[in-house]
């Protein structure tokens, strides 16, 4: 029978969770709720004695100091409405899993197969509420109906006992070993219908390639021998759909593009990826020559570079946008624990040393109406922030760098970038750690979590736009603890040399991971019936493509399998042999003895001809605002500091553990009160050494409205600029690109596809040009190409966005430079020239304009300046340095001043300008976002040395640090044009998101 | 035994083991073992072979049943494979033998929920206090000042003048007691060895964010009457070198971080009393 144990807080104990919900109801839904109390409910579907039940309720499930437990009786009292929220069947219930283990320790026996623990939460609401209000609170805040169920009971019905409980979300389906054949000898329309109805995301051309393959008589002959008909099985069709999905295959980046520029010059590009991304890295590695530090690029789950002779550094950044749109918490949590598996599955496996997060949202204060199915940006913000908090913190990986970017077009799809770096010994058991090989005969082993229906069609679903009918099953909830146990185990297995090859199970599930591994040795034979399942009822194709989380796939030599499995058992990790690797040339899948898929590896991976795209570039003219001449710009600065893209994100950052593992050197916040914004992060991955890792990023989607070429150039420069500012070395620096685009494929839904393709081409051209000029190799990256919402009426496309992440080294972390002003009397320098480049700026956005004069990057001059600056850092001549980005000089001055707690006197007459004299205005000098500029302060005793080191570069001293607590700026006509008290400036900067 | 030996327990979501082990080595322990809980449960490693048990920070079992609850249940009930011995027998023997246990963050939560702290009158395994959700309702990573009670029996805090400055990183750090009587006793016996305070270490404070979680009497760290068992929410192993300090680029600081003294005191106590 099912027992219900309810745990509530004792009356006098504060309910922090309830209070937070009450505040959110009040703040965002504006309902009068006087109190919210919460109750945890455990529904235990297991044979337990009364005595056992009493121990379980009293000890592991209840903290008797603050809580009371109730066995098979209600804890609820004193409320107007009770809302109970629990999971839908099959959704990962982490607390239920932990409770199950706790029960097993208490009883000393394992729960039977099919027995289980399911959790739900009751919210007791008090207040003058109507039933419709409670419904809105429930669906708008407490319950995500995609993955959760709820019931609402008013006090009277509750007491009358007329309301049925939620019941347990047990999956009860029978195992169906059925495999269906799909007849592809049908019309084109029917082919398309097969693809659409099955969420295969295959185009007609792709369906016809598959059709043609199966029509081949030689193929049919061979299939007959294995008991297969001439039609593909659902397993085969699904495997092809996963492997050929945009998500896995990157068809757009591999496409042949006919590109035409604004002057009508045409060129044909064969694969953006090969031409511009791999091309840039190849060129940079040639330039680096003997100093090349790239070890493994573009071939593994993450890029690997040399850190020093003893260690290698691994880095990868992923996006998890589509799932985060549907279930922000689960989507983002899965995003972070998912990207953790990339460096973990790179080479022989790396220890994870930090996470980075960048989120792009619409304003959390969004007030326009949204199409159905889209969650309010505020809810996405809350859910994503919390998902990444739980994923990162519980995994014990510090979250060291990130940002939040706001633009209302991200209401259509939020962007959730999650990055993770790893650190591994350069050699393990005498072999280079970044190299791995599979030999025919090696066993296919899956470790970690079990397979369920969660995450089916994630890869294909994210290869389409979001719509009202997006599948529920595409959402997963990660489980950081199951993953942590697995990684604890696998690191030991790695060091004992127990496996030959490791990779992650991500998009496409086993279909992708084993499919890709099979290319290493030329084949595999996999039995789906051996795969451990969370519950029965999965068809073979579902087992193959499920994206259930926390799994790694390995190749284990038969001689080591016993030791491998024994270690797994000991450490409480599930590991299962699913088959073996072969050199048959075939991806051969069975279910018990029956063959259910038999596809040539070549066809699976190389069967797809490149897509053909056309890109036509045109320069779009935006209205150009009239210059403003004011006698005082303090108000503009205060407004800029309060804009969402510039204001402090401290309320989010403090929720992320950024210091675990003990190597924290430069934290996200710095300065006299630990609240100034750092430009990059520095940490020591090896506590025995002072060599550090530096990480930063650049992202500026706003410039895409003018020209994606310059958007890309500025993102690269911003990433490098922040990295250089804190002291990162230019001799060991690498980049990662993450493209998030709106669909660029011309179609009825996307009539401007050719323009979007041209935007993509231009961004790639800049990526090549600037990486080559900056001498920064790209080591890994990812693209997500369908970031649109379309429900048949409303289309929302994100602005083309690239996150450019930068990773590298600082030889001695004790030379790290922070951004806060250090002491009165210090000289303030501005490195680099300012130009009239307000196009796409935060300042123009504030005025309601985009403009046209987008900042341009001169990489060669900037690199020379960055090198000179780095030399000054090496000689310890720099007291502080802050990079200029959103909001330009004015914002950088304010941040430097209030972070340090010292005033500044600045004279704009001394700012170097590039351009015609009439453009040199106070407005331009204060707010232009010209690239490659650094605001540096230097102790007076170091002035001569600093200026000597910087000789030959554009720089000027523009003022001094003062004892006062004000920032004052003198304009070009000599009068004071800005005067702000540090407290006011800081308050403007901190207040907007403080309460979120 | 002539070597001072420390053990750092890991597994199921513990994640500060590397820096805790580093702290032990820096402090002068001759041998430092990072042991996965499965090694203890399989009898491959025994607590009896060590002097200093580190229960470090992390998210044991995801804190799914409340912080450290599931591990408290595991340590109380789990049996050493193939024997009749329970792990808890080893732990109680470890205490009886006069050895040291330091619980940090999740490890402190674990000790409190197992009833190893405050364990008034030596009643180990009788829970009389707890650590629960911060008043602000959120996980917090920030640095805190703690005033140290020089009259405390804690062997870990000897020689601390004024107080120490360390980071907290927790969502459930609010210290609560079963009754006023328990609290009175804790205070009378000087067991509340570290209290959140202002930056001068002048007085305990209930003011956020100096007191980041709303702990009763601003209690940040607690010891038992023997002084050999201690727990604290802030992370001493996260401040071993001056570059860990949030303001190290603007203040002149000693090379060594505030956190190391706890580990140094542990090794000195062991050398004087147990070797």
More confident residue, A93 or A473: A93
Give contacts of A108 with chain B, Cβ < 8 Å. 77, 79
Q: Give the pLDDT confidence score for residue B136 in this predicted structure.
A: 87
Q: Angle, to 10 degrees, between the axis of helix A217-225 and the axis of helix A204-215? A: 70
* Cross-chain residue pair A395–B142, CB shorter than 8 Å: no
Kindly give the pairing relationship between strand A612-616 and strand A256-260.
parallel
Give contacts of B65 with chain A, Cβ < 8 Å. 60-61, 95, 98-99, 102
In angstroms, the Cα distances linking A984 to A642, A897, A898, A960 are 11, 12, 10, 20
Q: Which residue of A has its CA nearest to B37?
A: A571
A491 and chain B in contact, CB less than 8 A: no
Q: Where does the pLDDT of residue A175 fall: very low under 50, low under 70, confident under 90, or very high at 90 and above? A: low
**Structural domains of chain A sorted by starting position, each given as residue range(s) with its CATH number in brackets:** 2-160 (3.30.1280.10), 817-996 (3.90.650.10)
* Cross-chain residue pair A17–B137, CB shorter than 8 Å: yes
Q: For residue A594, how many other CB atoms are within 10 A of its CB?
A: 15
A389 and chain B in contact, CB less than 8 A: yes
B130 and chain A in contact, CB less than 8 A: yes
- Measured between CA atoms, how close is B157 to chain A, in angstroms? 21
Separation of alpha carbons A691 and A682, rounded Å: 10
Share of chain A above pLDDT 90, in %: 79
Q: Where does the pLDDT of residue A872 fall: very low under 50, low under 70, confident under 90, or very high at 90 and above? A: very high
On whether the CB atoms of residues B90 and B48 are closer than 8 A, the answer is: yes
**pLDDT tens-digit profile of A361-419?**
999 999 888 887 788 898 899 999 999 999 999 999 999 999 999 999 999 899 999 99
The overall average pLDDT reported for chain B is 96
Q: Give the pLDDT confidence score for residue B22 in this predicted structure.
A: 98
* Cross-chain residue pair B238–A94, CB shorter than 8 Å: no
Q: Give the pLDDT confidence score for residue A217 in this predicted structure.
A: 92
Helix (H), strand (E) at residue A986: helix A982-990
Judged by average pLDDT, the poorest of A153-162, A275-284, A802-811 is: A153-162
Residues 39-58 of B with CB under 8 A from A: 42, 57-58
Separation of alpha carbons A365 and A377, rounded Å: 8
- Note the CATH architecture for domain B5-273: 3-Layer(aba) Sandwich (3.40)
Give contacts of B36 with chain A, Cβ < 8 Å. 488, 492, 571
User: What are the structure tokens assigned to A853, written together?
Assistant: 């004069």
Separation of alpha carbons A660 and A587, rounded Å: 42
Q: Give the pLDDT confidence score for residue A479 in this predicted structure.
A: 83
Separation of alpha carbons A565 and A556, rounded Å: 10
* Cross-chain residue pair B250–A659, CB shorter than 8 Å: no
A61 and chain B in contact, CB less than 8 A: yes
B64 and chain A in contact, CB less than 8 A: yes
User: What are the structure tokens assigned to A325, written together?
Assistant: 């749109």
Cα angle value A702/A706/A707 (rounded, 5°): 100
Q: Give the pLDDT confidence score for residue A163 in this predicted structure.
A: 80
Q: Give the pLDDT confidence score for residue A473 in this predicted structure.
A: 60
A656 and chain B in contact, CB less than 8 A: yes
* Segment A257-284 mean pLDDT: 96
Judged by phi (left if over 0) then psi (alpha if -120 to 50, else beta), residue A929 lies in alpha
- The strands making up A778-784's β-sheet, listed across from edge to edge, are A664-666, A681-683, A692-698, A801-810, A733-740, A778-784
Share of chain A above pLDDT 70, in %: 98
* Segment A925-945 mean pLDDT: 98
* Cross-chain residue pair A394–B77, CB shorter than 8 Å: no
Q: Which residues pair with A120 in a beta bridge?
A: A41, A86
On whether the CB atoms of residues B98 and B274 are closer than 8 A, the answer is: yes
Is residue A469 predicted with pLDDT exceeding 70?
no
Give the one of A64, A665, A820 whose C-beta lies nearest to B250's C-beta. Answer: A820
B12 and chain A in contact, CB less than 8 A: yes
B190 is catalytic: no
The overall average pLDDT reported for chain A is 93
In sequence order, the 6+-apart residues with CB closer than 8 A to the CB of A618 are: A262, A755, A758
B179 and chain A in contact, CB less than 8 A: no
Q: For residue A23, how many other CB atoms are within 10 A of its CB?
A: 14
* Cross-chain residue pair B135–A820, CB shorter than 8 Å: no
Is residue A463 predicted with pLDDT exceeding 60?
no
Is residue A466 predicted with pLDDT exceeding 60?
no
In 3-state terms, what secondary structure has residue A24? Answer: helix
Distance of CA A680 to the CA centre of its chain: 18
Kindly give the pairing relationship between strand A976-981 and strand A966-970.
antiparallel
- Counting one residue from chain A and one from chain B, the pairs whose CB atoms sit within 8 A come to 187
- Measured between CA atoms, how close is A415 to chain B, in angstroms? 23
Is residue A698 predicted with pLDDT exceeding 60?
yes
B251 is catalytic: no
More confident residue, A462 or B116: B116
Q: Give the pLDDT confidence score for residue A165 in this predicted structure.
A: 81
Catalytic residue among A3, A250, A320, A658: A320
Q: Give the pLDDT confidence score for residue A480 in this predicted structure.
A: 86
Separation of alpha carbons A175 and A108, rounded Å: 30
Give contacts of B137 with chain A, Cβ < 8 Å. 16-17, 19-20
A247 is catalytic: yes
Give the one of B10, B72, B129 whose C-beta lies nearest to A65's C-beta. Answer: B129
Is residue A470 predicted with pLDDT exceeding 90?
no
Is residue A472 predicted with pLDDT exceeding 60?
no
Q: Give the pLDDT confidence score for residue A315 in this predicted structure.
A: 97
Is residue A146 predicted with pLDDT exceeding 80?
no
**pLDDT tens-digit profile of A776-816?**
999 999 999 989 988 888 889 999 999 999 999 999 999 99
Catalytic residue among A3, A247, A457, A710: A247
**pLDDT tens-digit profile of A581-596?**
999 999 999 999 999 9
Q: Where does the pLDDT of residue A762 fall: very low under 50, low under 70, confident under 90, or very high at 90 and above? A: very high
Phi and psi of A267, rounded to 5°?
-145, 155
Listed as ranges, residues in chain B with pLDDT below 50 are none
In angstroms, the Cα distances linking B245 to A666, A747, A848 are 9, 56, 42
Q: Give the pLDDT confidence score for residue A187 in this predicted structure.
A: 94
Is residue A565 predicted with pLDDT exceeding 90?
yes
Tokens 């008013």 belong to: A154
- Measured between CA atoms, how close is B181 to chain A, in angstroms? 14
A570 and chain B in contact, CB less than 8 A: yes
In sequence order, the 6+-apart residues with CB closer than 8 A to the CB of A8 are: A37, A38, A39, A40, A67, A68, A70, A75, A76
* Cross-chain residue pair A662–B36, CB shorter than 8 Å: no
* Cross-chain residue pair A105–B74, CB shorter than 8 Å: yes
Q: Which residue of B has its CA nearest to A572?
A: B38
Q: Angle, to 10 degrees, between the axis of helix A982-990 and the axis of helix A634-641? A: 40
């Amino acid at each position: 029978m099912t027992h219900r144990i309810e745990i509530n807080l004792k009356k006098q104990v504060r309910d922090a969770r309830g209070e937070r919900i009450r505040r959110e109801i009040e703040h965002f839904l504006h309902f009068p709720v006087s109190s919210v109390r919460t109750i945890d409910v455990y529904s235990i579907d297991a044979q337990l004695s009364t005595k056992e039940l009493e121990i379980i309720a009293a000890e592991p499930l209840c903290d008797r100091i603050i809580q009371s437990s109730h066995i098979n009786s209600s804890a609820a009292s004193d409320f107007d409405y009770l809302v109970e929220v629990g999971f839908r069947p099959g959704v990962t219930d982490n607390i239920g899993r932990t409770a199950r283990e706790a029960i097993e320790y208490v009883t000393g026996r394992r729960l039977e197969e099919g027995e289980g623990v399911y959790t739900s939460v009751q919210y007791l609401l008090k207040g003058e509420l109507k039933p419709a209000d409670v419904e809105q609170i429930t669906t708008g805040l407490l319950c995500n109906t995609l993955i959760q169920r709820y019931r609402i009971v008013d006090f009277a019905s509750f007491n009358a006992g007329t309301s049925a409980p939620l019941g347990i979300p047990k999956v009860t389906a029978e195992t169906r070993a059925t495999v269906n054949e799909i007849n592809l000898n049908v019309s084109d329309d029917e082919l398309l219908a097969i693809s659409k109805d099955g969420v295969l995301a295959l185009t007609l051309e792709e369906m016809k390639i598959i059709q043609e393959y199966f029509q081949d008589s030689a193929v049919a002959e061979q299939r007959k021998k294995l008991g297969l008909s001439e039609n593909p099985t659902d397993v085969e069709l699904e495997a092809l759909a996963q492997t050929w999905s945009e998500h896995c295959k990157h068809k757009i980046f591999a496409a042949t593009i006919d590109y035409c520029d604004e002057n009508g010059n045409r060129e044909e590009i064969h694969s953006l990826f090969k031409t511009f991304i791999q091309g840039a890295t190849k060129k940079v590695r040639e330039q680096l020559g003997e100093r090349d530090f790239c070890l493994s690029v573009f071939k593994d789950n993450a890029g690997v570079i040399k850190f020093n002779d003893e260690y290698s550094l691994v880095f990868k950044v992923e996006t998890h946008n589509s799932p985060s749109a549907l279930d922000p918490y689960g989507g983002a949590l899965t995003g972070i624990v998912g990207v953790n598996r990339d460096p973990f599955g790179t080479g022989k496996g790396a220890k994870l040393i930090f996470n980075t997060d960048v989120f792009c949202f619409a304003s959390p204060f969004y007030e326009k109406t949204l199409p159905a199915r889209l969650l309010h940006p505020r809810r996405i913000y809350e859910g994503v922030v919390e998902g990444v908090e739980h994923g990162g913190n519980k995994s014990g990986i510090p979250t060291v760098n990130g940002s939040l970017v706001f633009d209302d077009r991200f209401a259509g799809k939020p962007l959730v970038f999650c990055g993770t770096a790893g650190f591994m010994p350069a050699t393990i058991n005498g072999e280079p750690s970044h190299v791995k090989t599979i030999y025919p005969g090696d066993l296919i082993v899956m470790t970690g979590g079990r397979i369920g229906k969660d995450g089916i069609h994630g890869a294909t679903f994210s290869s389409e736009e979001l719509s009202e009918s997006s599948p529920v099953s595409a959402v997963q909830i990660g489980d950081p603890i199951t993953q942590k146990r697995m990684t604890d185990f696998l690191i030991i297995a790695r060091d004992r040399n127990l496996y030959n090859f490791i990779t992650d199970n991500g998009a496409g599930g086993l279909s992708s991971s084993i499919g890709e591994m099979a290319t290493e040795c030329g084949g595999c034979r996999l039995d789906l019936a051996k795969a451990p399942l969370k519950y029965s009822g999965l068809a073979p194709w579902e087992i193959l493509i499920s994206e259930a989380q926390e799994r790694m796939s390995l190749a284990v030599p038969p001689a080591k399998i016993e030791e491998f499995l024994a270690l797994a058992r000991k450490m409480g990790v599930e590991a299962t042999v699913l088959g073996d690797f072969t050199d048959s040339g075939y991806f051969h899948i069975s279910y018990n003895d029956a063959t259910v898929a038999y596809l040539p590896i070549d066809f699976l991976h190389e069967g797809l001809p490149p897509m053909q795209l056309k890109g036509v570039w045109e320069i779009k003219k935006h209205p150009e605002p009239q210059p403003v001449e004011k006698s005082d710009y303090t108000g503009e600065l205060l407004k800029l500091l309060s804009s969402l893209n510039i204001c402090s994100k401290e309320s989010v950052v403090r929720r992320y553990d950024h210091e675990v593992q003990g190597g924290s050197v430069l934290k996200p916040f710095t300065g006299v009160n630990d609240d100034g914004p750092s430009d990059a992060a520095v940490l020591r991955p090896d506590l025995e050494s002072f060599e550090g890792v530096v990480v930063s990023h650049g992202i500026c989607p706003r410039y895409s409205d003018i020209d994606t070429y310059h958007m890309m150039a500025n993102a690269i420069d911003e990433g490098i600029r922040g990295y250089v500012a804190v002291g990162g070395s230019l001799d060991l620096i690498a980049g990662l690109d993450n493209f998030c685009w709106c669909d660029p494929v011309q179609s009825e839904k996307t009539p401007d596809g050719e323009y979007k393709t041209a935007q993509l081409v231009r961004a790639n051209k800049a990526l090549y040009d600037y990486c080559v000029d900056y001498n920064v190799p790209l080591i890994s990256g990812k693209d997500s190409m369908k970031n649109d919402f379309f429900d048949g009426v409303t289309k929302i496309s994100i602005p083309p966005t690239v996150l450019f992440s930068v990773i590298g080294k600082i030889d001695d972390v004790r030379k790290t430079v922070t951004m806060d002003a250090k002491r009165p009397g210090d000289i303030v320098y501005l490195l680099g020239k300012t130009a009239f480049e307000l196009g796409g700026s935060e300042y123009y956005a504030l005025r309601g304009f985009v403009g046209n004069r987008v900042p341009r990057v001169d990489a060669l001059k900037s690199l020379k300046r960055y090198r000179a600056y780095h030399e000054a850092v090496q000689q310890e001549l720099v007291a502080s340095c802050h990079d200029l980005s959103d909001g330009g000089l004015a914002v950088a001055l304010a941040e430097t001043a209030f972070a340090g707690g010292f005033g500044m006197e600045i004279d704009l007459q001394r700012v170097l300008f590039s351009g015609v004299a009439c453009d040199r205005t106070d407005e331009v000098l204060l707010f232009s976002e010209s690239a490659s500029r650094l605001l540096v302060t230097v102790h007076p005793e170091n002035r001569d040395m600093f200026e000597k080191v910087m000789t030959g570069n554009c720089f000027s001293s523009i003022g001094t640090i003062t004892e006062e607590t004000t920032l004052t700026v003198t304009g070009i006509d000599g009068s004071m044009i800005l005067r702000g008290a540090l407290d006011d400036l800081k308050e403007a900067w901190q207040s907007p998101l403080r309460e979120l | 035994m002539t070597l001072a030996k420390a053990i750092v327990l890991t597994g199921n979501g513990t994640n500060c083991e590397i820096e805790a082990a580093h702290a032990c080595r820096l402090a002068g322990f001759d041998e430092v073992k990072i042991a996965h809980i499965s090694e203890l449960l399989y009898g491959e490693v025994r607590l009896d072979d060590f002097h200093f048990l580190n229960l470090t920070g992390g998210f044991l079992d995801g804190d799914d049943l409340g912080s450290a609850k599931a591990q408290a249940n595991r340590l109380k009930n789990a049996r050493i494979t193939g024997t009749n011995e329970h792990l808890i027998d080893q732990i109680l023997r470890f205490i009886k033998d006069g050895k040291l246990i330091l619980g940090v963050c999740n490890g402190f939560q674990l000790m409190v929920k197992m009833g190893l702290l405050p364990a008034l009158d030596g009643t180990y395994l009788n829970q009389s206090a707890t650590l629960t959700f911060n008043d602000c309702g959120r996980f917090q990573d920030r640095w805190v000042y703690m005033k140290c009670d020089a009259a405390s029996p804690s062997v870990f805090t000897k020689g601390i003048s004024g107080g120490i400055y360390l980071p907290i990183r927790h969502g459930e750090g609010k210290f609560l007691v079963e009754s006023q009587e328990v609290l009175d006793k804790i205070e009378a016996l000087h067991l509340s060895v570290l209290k959140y305070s202002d930056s001068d270490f002048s007085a305990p404070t209930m003011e956020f964010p100096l007191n980041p979680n709303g702990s009763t009497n601003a209690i940040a760290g607690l010891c038992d009457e023997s002084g050999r068992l201690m727990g604290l929410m802030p992370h001493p192993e996260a401040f071993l070198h001056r570059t860990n300090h949030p303001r190290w680029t603007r203040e002149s600081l000693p090379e060594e971080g505030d956190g190391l003294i706890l580990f140094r005191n542990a090794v000195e106590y062991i050398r004087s009393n147990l070797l």
